[in-house]
């Protein structure tokens, strides 16, 4: 697991259930706005239908200097009235944005379960987060095939 | 001591007007301090488990439909002792007036109200228009943690499911009586088994319970999330669905939440005495062995053997 994501997982595991919800709320507030080139082109974003609330995401490959592999940039859009969904997106953004494709593809699919939120938010809602990670990985794999 | 009903003219046309309160009424009650002694308790119940924390009606408490009201091992609602403990912790006494509001036109709030009714809580009302209307009117929101004035007094109640809750066998026995399917037209016809853009909850078959009328739940709500007028609701349920006064009705959806919104409209706004919510709904019926379904836009019919 990438260090930034592992640190987030540790932070969640170090606290009790009610505080985990508060931490998720902090992540929902920290989710960055979309850059203008994407807000003007919503068709470039893809909806994750497994999420209970509307969540749109896309990835971009950013060239790095020298021979290093490109950095994967993650972009999410979710309305303020969907803080749980935004919180999940915030966790993935902080934990994965700017990593390489291989690093992100190596994240275990069941990583969301490690946050210890399943009981506090219900398994149904957890599914959305697992779907979000799955969608990111699928989009990266698809992008790699075109290269 | 029950708090006086909201006597506005839209509500007075409904069969049980005191089941709804307006945002104006609630704001007045809050200013008058009705929540300070637990005689009025305002409850927020949302689809999103964190929405309350982003800002809620001052003094309101949160009850989550999933983590507070469902028992996670039996696919049932919590038992009476758990419900009593939950209510008391939220400052709710058996005699409190409880006003519930929430997101998405009160869809989850209606579900919570229905669960309160299973436990026989007498005075439970919905805030017409819910969270969105309160916000649209620029009314106050708070992110402060609500301090419950005192724990409520809530003796362990009896739960009476029969009058308002239908199980699968009840629905089979109900054949020939009216059913209302409140899901989207695509779910009704069988084109899809879950809501557009919602998680796939895994029903093996798509379609509807034979003879059910399709009246998507949101048709009962106006653009501002309030319930439509009595006249409009009659056009919908007596006209389009073909219900007759006195009918014994069962409403269902996918897991019983959207149909709670319709249950409320039929029971309290139109005054049908016998309305049950089939909370097993399509996630049960669509997967159940040896129960018939109908496909397509037509209501269909029960097979002769059913």
Concerning whether B177 is annotated as a catalytic residue, the answer is: no
B-chain residues near A23 (CB < 8 A): none
Question: Which structure tokens are listed for B16?
Answer: 């049980």
Q: Is B136 on the interface with A (CB under 8 A)?
A: no
Q: Which residues pair with B71 in a beta bridge?
A: B76
ipTM of the modeled complex: 0.83
Give which of B207, B296, B205, B199 is closest to B252, Cα–Cα: B207
pLDDT for residue B59: 96
Residue from B45, B46, B49 whose CB has the most chain A CBs within 10 Å, to mutate? B49
CA angle in degrees (0–180, nearest 5) for A20-A101-A137: 60
CA angle in degrees (0–180, nearest 5) for B184-B128-B141: 110
Contact B60, B43 (CB under 8 A): yes
pLDDT for residue B285: 96
Say if residue A66's pLDDT is above 70.
yes
pLDDT for residue B299: 97
Question: Which structure tokens are listed for B40?
Answer: 């009025």
This prediction's pTM? 0.90
E strand intervals along chain A = 46-47, 56-62, 71-77
Q: Where exactly are the structural domains of chain A?
A: 3-146
Contact B67, B49 (CB under 8 A): yes
Rounded CA separation A84/A24 (Å): 7
Contact A120, A129 (CB under 8 A): no
Rounded CA separation A32/A75 (Å): 8
Say if residue A47's pLDDT is above 80.
no
**Inter-chain contact B50–A24, Cβ cutoff 8 Å?**
yes
Give which of A23, A126, A83 is closest to B199, Cα–Cα: A126
Q: Is A55 on the interface with B (CB under 8 A)?
A: no
Give which of A42, A69, A48, A46 is closest to A59, Cα–Cα: A46
Low-confidence ranges of chain B (pLDDT < 70): 1, 193-202, 305-306
Give which of B197, B185, B196, B212 is closest to B281, Cα–Cα: B212
CATH of domain A3-146: 3.90.1010.10
Contact B56, B44 (CB under 8 A): yes
Question: Span A103-129, mean pLDDT?
Answer: 88
B-chain residues near A131 (CB < 8 A): 199
Q: Which candidate from B51, B67, B199 shows the least CB-CB separation from A128?
A: B199
């Amino acid at each position: 697991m990438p260090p930034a994501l592992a640190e987030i997982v540790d932070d969640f595991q170090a606290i009790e259930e009610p505080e985990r919800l508060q931490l998720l709320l902090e992540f929902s507030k920290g989710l960055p706005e979309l850059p203008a080139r994407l807000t003007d082109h919503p068709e470039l974003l893809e909806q994750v239908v497994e999420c209970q609330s509307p969540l749109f995401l896309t990835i971009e490959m950013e060239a790095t200097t020298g021979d290093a592999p490109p950095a994967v940039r993650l972009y999410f859009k979710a309305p303020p009235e969907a803080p749980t969904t935004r919180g999940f997106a915030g966790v993935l953004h902080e934990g994965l944005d700017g990593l390489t494709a291989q690093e992100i593809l190596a994240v275990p699919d069941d990583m969301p379960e490690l946050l210890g939120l399943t009981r506090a938010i219900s398994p149904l809602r957890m599914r959305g987060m697992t779907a979000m990670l799955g969608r990111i990985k699928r989009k990266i794999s698809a992008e790699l095939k075109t290269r | 001591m029950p708090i006086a009903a909201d006597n506005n003219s839209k509500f007075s046309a409904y069969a049980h007007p005191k089941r709804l309160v307006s945002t104006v009424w609630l704001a007045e009650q809050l200013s008058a301090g009705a929540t300070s002694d637990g005689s009025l308790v305002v409850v927020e119940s949302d689809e999103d488990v964190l929405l309350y924390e982003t800002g809620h009606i001052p003094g309101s408490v949160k009850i989550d439909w999933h983590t507070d009201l469902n028992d996670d091992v039996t696919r049932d609602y919590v038992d009476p002792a758990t419900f009593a403990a939950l209510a008391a912790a939220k400052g709710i006494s058996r005699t409190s007036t409880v006003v519930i509001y929430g997101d998405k036109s009160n869809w989850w709030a209606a579900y919570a109200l229905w669960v309160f009714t299973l436990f026989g809580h007498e005075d439970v009302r919905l805030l017409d228009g819910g969270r969105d209307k309160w916000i649209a009117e620029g009314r106050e929101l708070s992110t402060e943690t609500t301090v419950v004035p005192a724990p409520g007094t809530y003796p362990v109640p009896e739960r009476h499911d029969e009058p308002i809750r239908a199980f699968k066998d009840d629905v089979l026995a109900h054949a020939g009586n009216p059913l209302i399917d409140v899901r989207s037209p695509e779910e009704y016809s069988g084109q899809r088994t879950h809501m557009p853009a919602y998680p796939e909850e895994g029903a093996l078959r798509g379609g509807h319970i034979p003879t059910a009328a399709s009246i998507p739940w949101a048709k009962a709500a106006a653009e501002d999330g309030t319930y439509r007028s009595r006249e409009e609701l009659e056009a919908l349920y007596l006209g389009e669905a073909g219900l007759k006064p006195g009918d014994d009705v069962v409403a269902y959806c996918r897991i019983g939440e959207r149909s709670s919104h319709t249950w409320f409209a039929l029971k309290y706004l139109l005054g049908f005495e016998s309305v049950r919510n089939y909370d097993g709904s399509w996630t049960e019926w669509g997967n159940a062995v040896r129960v018939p379904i109908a496909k397509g836009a037509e209501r269909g019919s029960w097979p002769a053997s059913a």
